[in-house]
Amino acid sequence: MIRFDGRTAIVTGAGNGLGRSHALMLAARGCNVVVNDLGGSVSGEGASVSAAQAVVDEITAKGGKAMAHGANVTKADEVADMVETAIATFGAVDILVNNAGILRDKSFSKMTEEDFRLVLDVHLMGSMICTKAVWDHMKERNYGRIAMTSSSSGLYGNFGQSNYGAAKMGLVGLMNVLQIEGAKYDIRVNTLAPTAHTRMTEGLIPEAALELMTPESVSAGLVYLVSEDAPKRTILAAGAGGYAAAKIYETPGIYLKPEDQTPDKVAEHFERITAPEGQQELTDGSGQTLKFLAYAA
Ligand code: NAD
């Protein structure tokens, strides 16, 4: 059985929905949990620590250990205070679950720059700020488990979510780089792509599917992603009891001689360029450059 005795996790946005469920499941398996939540609405208005405190009360009533913190993940000083308090209370931070998020959906024509920036700020910058706040601490301790929360909206697209989709795919890029930089300190970085019935998906999911789409089914995947034997650099899609890995592949492509390096030749060979046979998952950016240089050699 996967256990977290003696470990401490910060779960952001854990006053509701998926974060709450992650926090409860980690605590039930022996983890000390910092339940972070700003306590705002789905679109990010307002603030109150009562949502986080209610989850802490649930955990402690079941014999678990938890503390609430109302840090806004976009504010580095508030996040620093949360990390300091967590270390003072529990001794260390071993796990960070970047889960906090908001929505400001609009078709791109109607999307304001402000709504675009705000959604990027909470999801992408918020995850960066929280990760930065624990990064050196994890490096010093040679241990860390970090989860980002992406979305099928970012991986594959969803109408009206240009801000959210950009932020959610940005988190995949952040994971890819941090996994490389953190590897030698046993910091493992993974990404969850959940789908669940929460206040965020209210009215978007057909009634019949709601009962299947429990936050707990998603948390089972998330808890594995931050466990001792966690995988690395995995995008785990989870929802309604389904679990799958989302991957980015690159086709072998073709080589064009200098005289053929024209838009017309690219168009002419486009079918072969995009043909999936032999496609590969590359593990760092230089893999692509080396592949192309080998073609040219
Ligand atoms: P939710 O609205 O129920 O919970 C999000 C929580 O984040 C809220 O409690 C909110 O107060 C908190 N939060 C928002 N801004 C914050 C900030 N600046 N600082 C601290 N806390 C903040 O939503 P949810 O469905 O549980 O979503 C959790 C995560 O999963 C989000 O990142 C969301 O984008 C992602 N996600 C959810 C689904 C789904 O189907 N529910 C699908 C894909 C991705």
228-285 pLDDT, tens digit each: 999 999 999 999 999 999 999 999 999 999 999 999 999 999 999 999 999 999 999 9
Q: What is the pLDDT of residue 114?
A: 98
- Counting from 1 in the atom list of ligand 1, the atom nearest the Cα of 20 is 26
For residue 243, indicate whether it is catalytic. Answer: no
Q: How confident is the model at residue 295 (pLDDT cuts 50, 70, 90)?
A: very high
Q: What is the pLDDT of residue 222?
A: 98
- Of the residues 143, 156, 164, 185, only one is catalytic, namely 164
Tell me, yes or no, if the pTM score tops 0.90.
yes
Whether residue 46 has pLDDT greater than 90 = no
Pairing assessment for the beta strands 8-11 and 242-246 based on DSSP bridges: unpaired
Q: What is the pLDDT of residue 201?
A: 84
- Counting from 1 in the atom list of ligand 1, the atom nearest the Cα of 39 is 11
Is the CB–ligand 1 distance for residue 196 below 6 Å? yes
Is the CB–ligand 1 distance for residue 100 below 6 Å? yes
Whether residue 202 has pLDDT greater than 90 = no
Adjacency order of strands within the sheet including 95-97 = 66-69, 32-36, 8-11, 95-97, 144-149, 187-194, 235-239, 242-246
Q: What is the pLDDT of residue 133?
A: 99
Give the residue, by CA position, lying nearest to ligand 1 atom 31: 101
- Counting from 1 in the atom list of ligand 1, the atom nearest the Cα of 37 is 21
Interior angle at CA 224, CA 5 and CA 13, nearest 5: 85
Residue bearing the bigger pLDDT, 200 or 182: 182
Whether residue 204 has pLDDT greater than 90 = no
- What ipTM describes this predicted complex? 0.99
Q: What is the pLDDT of residue 282?
A: 95
